[in-house]
Amino acid sequence: MELQNDLILRAARGERTERTPVWLMRQAGRILPEYRAVRASLSGFKELVETPERACEVTIQPVDLLGVDAAIIFSDILVIPEAMGLPYRMVEKKGPWFDETIRSKEALSKIHVADPYADLKYVLDAISLTKKELNGRVPLIGFAGAPWTILCYMVEGQGSKTFSIARRMLFENPSLAHELLQMITSGTIDYLKAQIEAGADMLQVFDSWAGVLSADLYHKFALPYMKQICDAIPEVPVTVFAKGAHFILEDFAKLNCRTIGLDWTMDPVQSRALIGTNKTLQGNLDPAILYASEKEIQEATTKMLADFGEHPHIANLGHGVYPDTDPDKVKCFIQAVKAHKRL
Amino acid sequence: MELQNDLILRAARGERTERTPVWLMRQAGRILPEYRAVRASLSGFKELVETPERACEVTIQPVDLLGVDAAIIFSDILVIPEAMGLPYRMVEKKGPWFDETIRSKEALSKIHVADPYADLKYVLDAISLTKKELNGRVPLIGFAGAPWTILCYMVEGQGSKTFSIARRMLFENPSLAHELLQMITSGTIDYLKAQIEAGADMLQVFDSWAGVLSADLYHKFALPYMKQICDAIPEVPVTVFAKGAHFILEDFAKLNCRTIGLDWTMDPVQSRALIGTNKTLQGNLDPAILYASEKEIQEATTKMLADFGEHPHIANLGHGVYPDTDPDKVKCFIQAVKAHKRL
């Protein structure tokens, strides 16, 4: 089916577009009352993730209600550990919780490489259904967590400010870490390819905890696996986003990805200078700016677009939209991007 | 009393020293069994902070047991909000908790500028006592939280990964934020001056949550208050440390501070290039490296010292030492610094 709006795909491919495409990380599943209504009708977050019809519904809501230029499938990065044999629960106000963790060779021997067709069919079904329901209105983004970030949760067993238990493994048992990272990576590649087959038009890899690593450790334990993923996915444009990893932009420029995401602490002009002109950049409005007045949001968005300049750019926030953001402020941001004239 | 070891003061003043001085953020109060024994004999963290004799004891432990080149007074950055009229509890495994928060003009009207002599005498007594007990062996470092970081806790009421409630105030009620920041700053200046009077030989200002701000917001809501503090303290060398704020180093170079702390994601060579040669740099070994073998710790420390080169440098970790670090590994780091020959 031909896409009626393929702006984001053209921008990701490095083409010049008549205006900058826009979407928001976490646009589905945080801010819309319509999302909360769906969520309230179910037992919890995981039932929503695992029920294709409902995942499809909340994925499409921001396309209908906010006017974004892409849908991103409603899911969770932690479906991969679960598919590897490490189930998790989502604890209200606390976040993810794993009863088992991987901190030894023995624990590692009990898990396996994720098989998307056996273990993640519900995501693939959600993607197929969403692709059909979108009916060509906008492209559909698939995603996965980066291997380092997934390792963080599998070793730590929950969220953390420092992920020092996971980082401890990198020094105390680097071969175990590499073995786990490779297992995650292999399953993630299969999973992303299955997402493409199911209908994903582009993909994003989220390295949410990149920023707890030094540049040296990122080079050893994260970048090689990001490279494997990018090299394995020539079919659709891939976006890499490593929050907090201001030190890695030059290296990301050499990956076989099309787009590099920036968080809101990274300066668009300086980042472009580090990355060069070969990649599309994505980002990076401070999500907290959506607490400001509409006038301030418009001004900040216009300034951001000017800072990114004339090279290919996909407008987004610098991180996921915060749950207590007023949807009208999100619309204001989206409208400001759409109203901006490219020179 | 003359100091027998004033290496760190000379390095902070920008003088060339025969070897690089070394201490660790959180060297008191996390890793030593001797600390845990003292802590176990008391009702909790706050009793330890508020009892000068015991605070003195745990402050001196790392000088005796680890051989660091400075002591840092055992205390907490949150004594300032408490002295302003906003008491907190330290909840085991959860961190600080405030029953009241400052989110309105009305709440602000109920608190006051901290008066160190009225409200923080226990810290000043701990400093005087420690200075006496140290008996000139090494300098004593005093400290406070940076105004932005203190505001984070006063508005949020607890720790957070995003401090989005605090950041929301910067957009929704910037004048309230500035009023609170000024109150914190005024009390902090008095508090730091009182610490000098009580015996502190140098001071560090910790901006632990600098990294959640964009450069633009840091310029508006954090830097001006850091500047006020640095300008108000000509008596002793001041160190500023803004974790995660990779974007602020060039601005910090213009402050009336003597030393700039780097976290472990900041490259020493690039940071020196941004900052210039006028400041002493402090840091920045990845705290997780202390989980590695002694050989790896020695190699990483030597590499770090080489990266900092011949300009004035105070060796430290890039953040506080993690609680589960083996004290022998800390000693290994300290010995590696002491064994390093400056060219």
B326 in contact with A at a CB cutoff of 8 Å?
A: no
> What amino acid is encoded at A155 in this protein?
V
Q: How far is CA B137 from CA A63, B12, B60, B67, B196, in A?
A: 67, 17, 10, 10, 17
- Which residue of chain B comes nearest to A216, CA vs CA? B265
Instruction: Examine residue B2 and state whether it is found in any structural domain, yes or no.
Output: no
Count of domains forming chain A:
1
Q: Check CB contact under 8 Å for B292 and A244.
A: no
* pLDDT tens for each residue of B27-63: 999 999 999 999 999 999 999 999 999 999 999 999 9
The pLDDT value recorded for residue B343 is 61
| Amino acid at position A49, single letter | V
Residues A17-30 as b or e (16 or more Cβ within 10 Å = b): bebbbbbbbbbbbb
Residues A282, A315: Cα–Cα separation, whole Å: 6
Q: Could you tell me if residue B23 is inside a domain?
A: yes
What does the pLDDT read at residue A343? 61
Separation between Cα atoms, residue A128 and residue A233, nearest integer Å? 19
Question: Does A26 participate in catalysis according to the annotation?
Answer: yes
- Give the residue-averaged pLDDT of B153-170: 97
* A235 three-state secondary structure: coil
Strands A313-317 and A280-285: parallel
In a domain, B247, yes or no: yes
Interface membership of B264 toward A (CB under 8 Å): yes
pLDDT in tens, B211-251: 999 999 999 999 999 999 999 999 999 999 999 999 999 99
Residue A89's CATH number = 3.20.20.210
Average pLDDT of the residues in A17-24 = 97
Residue B192: predicted pLDDT? 98
B289 vs A171, A246, A293: nearest CB: A171
Angle in degrees, CA B51, B57, B62, rounded to 5: 135
**Residue A330 pLDDT > 90:** yes
Cβ proximity of B80 and B98 under 8 Å: no
B297 touches chain A (CB under 8 A): no
Which helix (H) or strand (E) segment is B95 a member of?
strand B95-98
pLDDT-derived band of residue A25, with 50, 70 and 90 as boundaries?
A: very high
Sheet holding B140-145: strands in order across? B71-72, B140-145, B202-207, B238-242, B259-261, B280-285, B313-317
What sign results for the dihedral spanned by CA atoms A95, A90, A156, A228?
negative
Of A214, A267, A288, the CB nearest to B265: A214
CA distance A273 to A61: 37
> Mean pLDDT across the stretch A145-170?
97
- State the ipTM, two decimals: 0.95
- Partner B contacted by A291 (CB < 8 A): yes
Residues 6+ apart with CB under 8 A from B250: B274, B275
CA B157 from chain centre, in angstroms, equals: 20
| Residue range A50-56: mean pLDDT, rounded | 98
Any domain includes B203: yes
Looking at the domain assignment, is residue A1 inside a domain? Answer: no
Rounded (5°) CA angle B132-B138-B144: 80
Q: Residue A2 domain-assigned? A: no
Tokens of B10: 């000379």
Helix residue ranges, H only, chain B: 7-12, 33-40, 45-50, 52-66, 79-83, 105-109, 116-119, 121-134, 147-156, 164-172, 174-198, 215-221, 223-232, 249-252, 268-275, 294-308, 327-339
- Chain A partners of B247 at a C-beta cutoff of 8 Å? 246, 265-267
Q: Which of A307, A306, A294 is nearest to A340 (CA)?
A: A306
Judge contact between A176 and A104, C-beta under 8 A: yes
What pTM does this model have?
0.97
What domain range is A246 assigned to?
A: 7-339
- Interval B240-289: pLDDT, tens: 999 999 999 999 999 999 999 999 999 999 999 999 999 999 999 999 99
- pLDDT tens-digit series, residues B187-204: 999 999 999 999 999 999
* Candidate list A39, A89, A137, A168, residue with the active-site label: A39
As a whole number of angstroms, the distance between CA A260 and CA A272 comes to 10
Q: Is the pLDDT of residue B327 over 70?
A: yes
Which residues, in sequence order, are bridge partners of residue A249? none
**Do the Cβ atoms of A58 and A29 come closer than 8 Å?**
yes
Q: Which of B171, B215, B264 sits opposite A296 (nearest CB)?
A: B171
Contacts of A133 (CB under 8 A, 6+ apart): A56, A60
Read off the pLDDT band of B135 (50, 70, 90). Answer: very high
Report the share of chain B in percent with pLDDT over 70: 100
Residue type, B292: A
Amino acid at B72: I
- Residues A189-223 have pLDDT tens digits of 999 999 999 999 999 999 999 999 999 999 999 99
Strands in chain A per DSSP E: 71-72, 88-91, 95-98, 140-145, 202-207, 238-242, 259-261, 280-285, 313-317
The verdict on residue A41 lying in a domain is yes
Q: Is A30 considered catalytic here?
A: yes
Asked if the model's pLDDT at residue A92 lies above 90, the reply is: no
Q: Looking at residues A267-289, what average pLDDT do you find?
A: 98
* Mean pLDDT of the region B70-78: 98
Assess whether A16 carries a catalytic annotation: no
Distance of CA B222 to the CA centre of its chain: 16
Cβ atoms of B288 and A170 closer than 8 Å: yes
Contact B214 A265 (CB under 8 A): yes
Closest CA relative to residue A83, chosen from A50, A42, A128: A50
Residue A326 bears catalytic tag: no
